[in-house]
A and B are shown apart, each in its own frame.
Chain A
Amino acid sequence: MPAAGGKPRSTDRRRFLRDAARAAGGCAIAGMGLTYLARDARALPAEALRPPGALPEDDFLAACIRCGLCVRDCPYDTLKLAELGEDGPATGTPYFTARDVPCEMCEDIPCVAACPTGALDPALDDIDDAEMGVAVLVDQENCLNFLGLRCDVCYRVCPVIDKAITLELRHNEVSGHHAIFAPTVHADHCTGCGMCEKSCVLPEATIKVLPMRLARGSSAEHYRRGWEEKELKGAPVVEGIIDLPDRLPGPGTDNLVAPGGFDPAFKLPGAGQ
């Protein structure tokens, strides 16, 4: 009796285990394939910029449901949804290419308001705080301003003019008696809207908006800037340091040749006093 009852049960169990193992194996293979795809899709091309308020890319890909509402509510048709096999970003996610259509930095940020999941962070309430990327003057050798001209277009179109881009004067070594007005980006104020890149008059823009990860370096965590610390503290960081007068070389001092004031044993002919 137990033998008769036991036999079918054991083949049943065997079949169940085999089927379960087969299903689990198949799903593991499919799952790994999908995992590979998903990891692969996280590489965002450098020229694809996320909308204002977009979470960092890793979080964004978990949060964005690819609904396209931000794209629909963008009044300037800046945003696009990535299409399968044609655009770089993960399929169905919103992005824009600054050189094609830059972000106009709407004050009411409709794309963020449209996002149902918070993939575009609703905490962004001032478009000037957006960090879609950072403009970098990638090619000084072709930039007209660096060649001594007064193109200034990137500076003029910047919505955060005089903060995000300033013109820094320096001597023009080529002509010898002119100035170079060097467009200089200040990352703290740059929103990455891409107006400068869009407006660059050259066939290929010499100023480009890059994603943060490419545009910025980072300071080591333990580095301190002495002058900032001093300002914070309102006093010298290390107390009791005597500040001796600086002795500079030159006529009228006792330090004629080198810091330290050694009187050189050998005087160059014609060096004079």
Chain B
Amino acid sequence: MSVKTRLPVGEEAIREKGWIGAHRFLLLRRLSQAFFLVLFLLGPWFGLWWVTGTLAGSRTFGVLPLTDPLVLLQGMVAGHWPEFTALLGAIIVLVAYGLIGGRVYCSWVCPINPVTDAAHWLHDKLGMPKGWQPKRNTRFWILGAVLAASAITGTVAWELINPITMLHRGLVFGMGFAWALVVAVFLFDLVVARRGWCGHVCPVGAFYSLVGARSLLRVSAANRQACDDCMDCYAVCPEQQVISPALKGKPGETPIILSPDCTNCGRCIDVCSVDVFAFTHRYDQRVVPLTEPAAPPATRNAA
């Protein structure tokens, strides 16, 4: 164990699976983030209006409406009952994320994710202390406060500071001083709170974790018997608390990561040299039985 934990995070996986193999989902995720951004930029940059609008509300190929359900909910709390188009768009989004995991939005679509990931990377490089770590439920309180502020002021309150839509709208329409908010989020994650914004504060993430609380697509620690306690998955996971119940579950307990906090980013799958984790559906209770019962416990005992 001591030999392994002294290796840099992910090093063992790179040796076992190659660099590409150990960064598969990270690469896919960056591609996905770029894809969703470029979809919106095709119009303003190249005149290809396949997708118009922003993440708050869009129209694809002139027919498919998509609406950010949280933005719409704030509007409804503020006293406006929207037209059918926006409602339909929100329902489509809710159903999609309800199936694939609400926080898939956070890790695969949200343009702020690369910003906070970069902040975390630098945070690690500089060996900064983790700083202020608010309680896990803080973001739900903030979500409540945002809805209350919308109701009190009769406006879509979070949109006044929401760095996600600010950045996205900034790139697609015109930035103004929205970049300042993005820098603020970066600095917040770098010097104030490690993984602070996405993991503790952002009410959009909180909302989507509620949306995906019963989602089908899940990561399973099906091969948890093979775990050699290298802790790399904990090191890369943006929501570390979701791993233990599945990975350290006793026989008979589910290997599925059921916490709605999990963003389905797949980094744990990448970084595991013994392939403990895999994407599956939430009703898949299979646990890979121990094939060679002697070997892994022996390693552990020796350490």
Alpha-carbon distance A26/B193, docked complex (angstroms) = 16
Q: Is A254 an interface residue (CB 8 A)?
A: no
B86 and A117 contacting across the interface, CB-CB below 8 Å: yes
In the complex, which of the residues B56, B141, B180 contacts A65, with contact meaning CB atoms closer than 8 Å? B56
How many chain B residues sit at the interface, stated as a range, is 35 or more
B157 and A92 contacting across the interface, CB-CB below 8 Å: no
Q: Which residues of B are found within 8 Å of A58, using beta-carbon distances?
A: 154
Q: Is A169 an interface residue (CB 8 A)?
A: no
A65 and B57 contacting across the interface, CB-CB below 8 Å: yes
Q: Which residues of B are found within 8 Å of A26, using beta-carbon distances?
A: 138, 141
Q: Is A28 an interface residue (CB 8 A)?
A: yes
Q: Which residues of A are found within 8 Å of B160, using beta-carbon distances?
A: 34, 37-38, 41, 90-91
A118 and B82 contacting across the interface, CB-CB below 8 Å: yes
A residues 47-86 near B (Cβ < 8 Å) are 55, 58-59, 61-69, 71-73, 80-86
Q: Which residues of B are found within 8 Å of A118, using beta-carbon distances?
A: 80, 82-83, 86
Q: Is B169 an interface residue (CB 8 A)?
A: yes
Q: Which residues of B are found within 8 Å of A116, using beta-carbon distances?
A: 57, 59, 65, 67, 82-83, 85-86, 89
Q: Is A122 an interface residue (CB 8 A)?
A: yes
How many chain A residues sit at the interface, stated as a range, is 35 or more
The interface centre, meaning the residue of A63, A87, A90, A122 with most chain B CB atoms within 10 A of its CB, is A63
Which of B9-17, B143-151, B219-227, B271-279 is the interface stretch?
Answer: B143-151
Q: Which residues of A are found within 8 Å of B43, using beta-carbon distances?
A: 72
B174 and A83 contacting across the interface, CB-CB below 8 Å: yes
Q: Which residues of B are found within 8 Å of A144, using beta-carbon distances?
A: none
Q: How far is the CB of B57 from chain A (nearest CB, A)?
A: 3
Q: Which residues of B are found within 8 Å of A114, using beta-carbon distances?
A: 59
B residues 121-150 near A (Cβ < 8 Å) are 135, 137-138, 141-142, 144-146, 148-150
A68 and B138 contacting across the interface, CB-CB below 8 Å: no
Would A31 and B145 be within 8 Å (CB), given that A66-B54, A66-B156, A90-B155 are in contact? yes
Q: Which residues of B are found within 8 Å of A63, using beta-carbon distances?
A: 75, 80, 82
Q: How far is the CB of A109 from chain B (nearest CB, A)?
A: 15
A residues 68-127 near B (Cβ < 8 Å) are 68-69, 71-73, 80-87, 90-92, 114-119, 122
Q: Which residues of B are found within 8 Å of A117, using beta-carbon distances?
A: 57, 67, 72, 75, 80, 82-83, 85-86
Would A115 and B83 be within 8 Å (CB), given that A27-B144, A83-B177 are in contact? yes
Q: Is A162 an interface residue (CB 8 A)?
A: no
Q: Is B21 an interface residue (CB 8 A)?
A: no
Q: Is A142 an interface residue (CB 8 A)?
A: no
Q: Is A42 an interface residue (CB 8 A)?
A: yes
B54 and A67 contacting across the interface, CB-CB below 8 Å: yes
B145 and A30 contacting across the interface, CB-CB below 8 Å: yes
In the complex, which of the residues B78, B85, B146, B159 contacts A31, with contact meaning CB atoms closer than 8 Å? B146
Residues of A within 8 A of B (CB): 19, 23-24, 26-28, 30-31, 34-35, 37-39, 41-42, 55, 58-59, 61-69, 71-73, 80-87, 90-92, 114-119, 122
A-B contact pairs, 13 of them (CB 8 A): A27-B142, A34-B145, A55-B80, A66-B54, A66-B159, A67-B67, A81-B174, A83-B175, A84-B176, A84-B180, A114-B59, A117-B82, A118-B82
Residues of B within 8 A of A (CB): 43, 49, 52-54, 56-59, 65, 67-68, 71-72, 75, 78-80, 82-83, 85-86, 89, 135, 137-138, 141-142, 144-146, 148-150, 152-161, 165-166, 169-170, 172-178, 180-181
Which 10 residue pairs of A and B lie closest in terms of their CB atoms, listed nearest first?
Answer: A83-B176, A67-B57, A85-B177, A62-B78, A31-B145, A38-B153, A118-B83, A63-B80, A116-B86, A27-B145
